[in-house]
Amino acid sequence: MKDFYLVYKNLTRKKLRLFLTCFAIFIAFLIFGAVTALQGALNSGVEMSADNRLVVFNKINFTQPLPYAYVNKVRSIDGVEHVTHANWFGGYYQEPANQIVTMAVAPESYFEVYEELVVDPQQKASWLANQAGVLVGERLAKVNNWQIGDRIPISSSIFSHKDGGQTWDLVVEGIFTANDPQIDTGYMVFHYKYFMETQSWGGDYVGWIVLTTEDPALNEQVAKAIDENFANSQAETDTDTEKAFNKAFIEQIGNIGLIIFGVVFMAFFTILVLVGNTMVLAVRERTNEIAVLKTLGFSSPRIFRMILTESCLLSFLGGLLGIGAAFLVVRFLSEMMARFLPNLVLGSDILLQALGYMLLLGLITGIVPAVNALRLNIISAFARG
Amino acid sequence: MNQDNLFELNKVSKRFTKGKETISIFDNLDMQIKRGDFLAIMGPSGSGKTTLLNLLGGVDQPTSGEVWFDGSRIDSLSESQLAKWRANNIGFIFQFYNLMPMLNAAKNVELPLLLTNLSAKERQQRVDTALQLVGLADRAKHMPAEMSGGQLQRVAIARAVVSDPKLLLCDEPTGDLDRRTADEILEMLQLLNREFGKTILMVTHDPAAAKYATHTLHLDKGQFVREGGVPAEEVSL
Ligand SMILES: Nc1ncnc2c1ncn2[C@@H]1O[C@H](COP(=O)(O)OP(=O)(O)OP(=O)(O)O)[C@@H](O)[C@H]1O
Ligand SMILES: [Mg+2]
């Protein structure tokens, strides 16, 4: 494009203005990139949840237990495929700040229900054989640098060991992975029976029940059957798809989707008005020059294109810098918060989306001055200037 | 159309309408410009000199009448056709130079060549030649803000001739310059006319400037008149 030099010179003729508008766009895309990555991380649990998996909680709230007998009752309901259960342990390693997501689970059925988890058969066998054994998720093992055979003392912030203290000595018998890198493996599981026998209160209750249905189409029917089955009993249940539960859980933190939309929308709207205004003024200042170009024989559509190119160039300049900065920020945060927010990444999907918005921003902020220039009449422009 | 003529205006009228008022600038104006002429146009302010230049330069269109250029009519061309026609045939020189402030002299001179198919190298050669012609070869990299009025006008002349147009239209090219600089510019136009065969039409208020031209026409109230203000039956050149 022979006119590119001209476009470039027009864009850079006022350095301070270029810097300020660029900076505004930079901020908008920094916010967009970081916030969208954050949203993606929060939503990945929802996206990754299986379609036919249901969770059964105590109706009062999800921290209240359910009687162990419910597990078999759920198993007998029509349409149910596999059933397992889990208890929250509330673990930490060495110091309370170092939280370890630990659950006491039914060892055999857990991996039937969570089919996406992969564990070496030999490791699984030795875990099943060792009551004090624990299977550690790959990410968690990596974060703490745990190897198979390691003896790890895990303390509970909720339960006490019947031998005194709050610490359980567990042995890493295996490391499980997942068949999709998006699936979080930042937790570990140990034996339900061992947990119940060694904690001071004893009892036979489970934290929650997880099951798969034979077909996602049966989800609603099965959920209804379960809840009706336990209606008016000592512990009423609330059964929901895993997806719905994860989503509801996230929404407890606040309606994140809406907040994020609001923040991004406001940032973009402000920048749109600011940059759009600046572009209009910048081009208006050039009325005389545009009239000269037209007189020399530059066609109106060509000048129209030049101005749109300029506004897009500005948008991509600020936008790419902004998304680049967002990438660095997200990478930094993901290292810091690997524990709480796995899957915090600024991936190619966000980048593509951002590129689309850059183009859109460029076109919208350029369209008014470009049309003004297109319509500019040589004679009246000279008469004015 | 007479082969000797580069331009012919046949019964050209130009009216401006503003709201309910209509001002008539030209009414059935006839005019011929011979190839190779250096024509000066003088006349009081508001007499229609700039309007005439705009009509000849294809920047404005007549309300009625015909404008012939080199054997074809330009008054019926579309806006985009006119733009192309201007790029191919006309060099413009303005009173206030009208250079792009963010481009250096060479880049300013190159502008009309961006409308051609010439390669970057050919464009560069032409720019160099044009700048040499106006005696500014050593100022190619200078920005407009770093140059004097006379130098700016010489850059503008280089820009006007770089694509080798047949006709140069100059609206008060020395109106902003002192006597000595004005004479330099006028000598340059004369050179372009004599040595390079450019047909030139120059609007000026300055009788001394008009002396450089081969002919002078006086315009008053939309009519060509004899010097002194008497209406001319027919303008003979
Ligand atoms: N676009 C326009 N709309 C309305 N009237 C116009 C327009 N352009 C020119 N005129 C009028 O036409 C008349 C001739 O104007 P023009 O600019 O051709 O004069 P001029 O001879 O060049 O004067 P000057 O010596 O001051 O430059 C003036 O009365 C002017 O007000
Ligand atoms: Mg004038």
Model pLDDT for residues A323-348, shown as the tens digit of each residue: 999 999 998 888 776 656 667 888 88
- Residue B83 with chain A: CB contacts under 8 Å: 294, 297-300
In terms of Cα–Cα distance, which of A373, A190, A237 is closest to A298? A373
Kindly indicate the confidence band of residue A253, based on its pLDDT and cuts at 50, 70 and 90: low
The predicted-structure confidence for A233-250, as pLDDT tens digits, reads as follows 889 999 988 888 777 776
Q: What is the DSSP letter of B140?
A: T
**Total Cβ atoms within 10 A of residue B15:** 13
In which residue are the tokens 């660029």 written? A22
* Å from CA of B40 to ligand 1 middle: 18
Q: Atom 6, ligand 1: which residue's CA is nearest?
A: B16
Q: What tokens does A190 get?
A: 């140990």
DSSP for A15-28, written as a single string: HHHHHHHHHHHHHH
The predicted-structure confidence for A48-86, as pLDDT tens digits, reads as follows 677 889 999 998 887 889 999 999 999 999 999 999 999
* Residue from B14, B20, B25, B94 to probe ligand 1 pocket by mutation (most atoms less than 8 Å from CB): B25
Q: What is the pLDDT of residue A260?
A: 76
* Å from CA of B203 to ligand 1 middle: 13
* Residue from B14, B17, B23 to probe ligand 1 pocket by mutation (most atoms less than 8 Å from CB): B23
In which residue are the tokens 């600089």 written? B181
Q: What is the pLDDT of residue A138?
A: 92
B111 touches chain A (CB under 8 A): yes
The predicted-structure confidence for B184-235, as pLDDT tens digits, reads as follows 999 999 999 999 999 999 999 999 999 999 999 999 888 888 665 445 544 4
Q: Per-domain residue ranges for chain A?
A: 2-46+254-384, 65-234
Percentage of chain A modeled with pLDDT above 90? 64
| Dist. CA B106–CA A263, nearest whole Å | 48
In which region does residue B60 sit, left (phi positive, over 0), alpha (psi from -120 to 50) or beta (all else)?
beta
Question: Based on C-alpha coordinates, what's the Rg of chain B?
Answer: 18
B88 touches chain A (CB under 8 A): yes
Which ligand 1 atom lies nearest to the CA of residue B23?
5
* Å from CA of B110 to ligand 2 middle: 27
The predicted-structure confidence for B113-150, as pLDDT tens digits, reads as follows 999 999 999 999 999 999 999 999 999 999 999 999 99
* Å from CA of B198 to ligand 2 middle: 22
In terms of Cα–Cα distance, which of A23, A17, A7, A20 is closest to A319? A23
In which residue are the tokens 């600011």 written? A274
Q: Which residues line ligand 1 (CB under 6 A)?
A: A 379-380, 383; B 16, 18, 23, 25, 43, 45-51
Q: What is the pLDDT of residue B229?
A: 47
Taking residues B31-46, what's their average pLDDT? 93
Taking residues B22-32, what's their average pLDDT? 91
| Dist. CA B81–CA B86, nearest whole Å | 9
Q: What is the pLDDT of residue A56?
A: 93
Which ligand 1 atom lies nearest to the CA of residue B54?
18
Beta-strand ranges (E) seen in chain A are 53-58, 66-67, 80-88, 91-93, 99-100, 102-105, 117-118, 133-137, 151-156, 167-178, 188-191, 205-206, 208-213, 237-241
Q: Give backbone dihedrals phi and psi of B11, rounded to 5 degrees, phi first.
A: 50, 50
Q: Which of residues 13-52 of B touch A (CB under 8 A)?
A: none
Q: What tokens does B68 get?
A: 């012939």
Contact A297 B101 (CB under 8 A): no
Taking residues B37-57, what's their average pLDDT? 93
Q: In A207-255, where does DSSP find H-type helix?
A: 219-229, 242-252
Q: What is the DSSP letter of A246?
A: H
In the predicted structure, residue A166 carries a pLDDT above the cut 60: yes
Smallest CA–CA separation between A25 and chain B, in Å? 24
**Total Cβ atoms within 10 A of residue A163:** 9
Percentage of chain A modeled with pLDDT above 70? 95
ipTM value, please give it.
0.93
In the predicted structure, residue B159 carries a pLDDT above the cut 70: yes
The predicted-structure confidence for A183-224, as pLDDT tens digits, reads as follows 888 899 999 999 999 998 878 899 999 999 998 888 889 999
Contact A297 B107 (CB under 8 A): no
Q: Residue A160, SS3?
A: coil
In the predicted structure, residue A354 carries a pLDDT above the cut 80: yes
Q: What is the pLDDT of residue A340?
A: 62
> Under a CB-based contact definition with an 8 Å cutoff, are residues A181 and A40 in contact?
no
From A292, which residue of chain B is nearest by alpha-carbon distance? Answer: B98
Percentage of chain B modeled with pLDDT above 70? 95
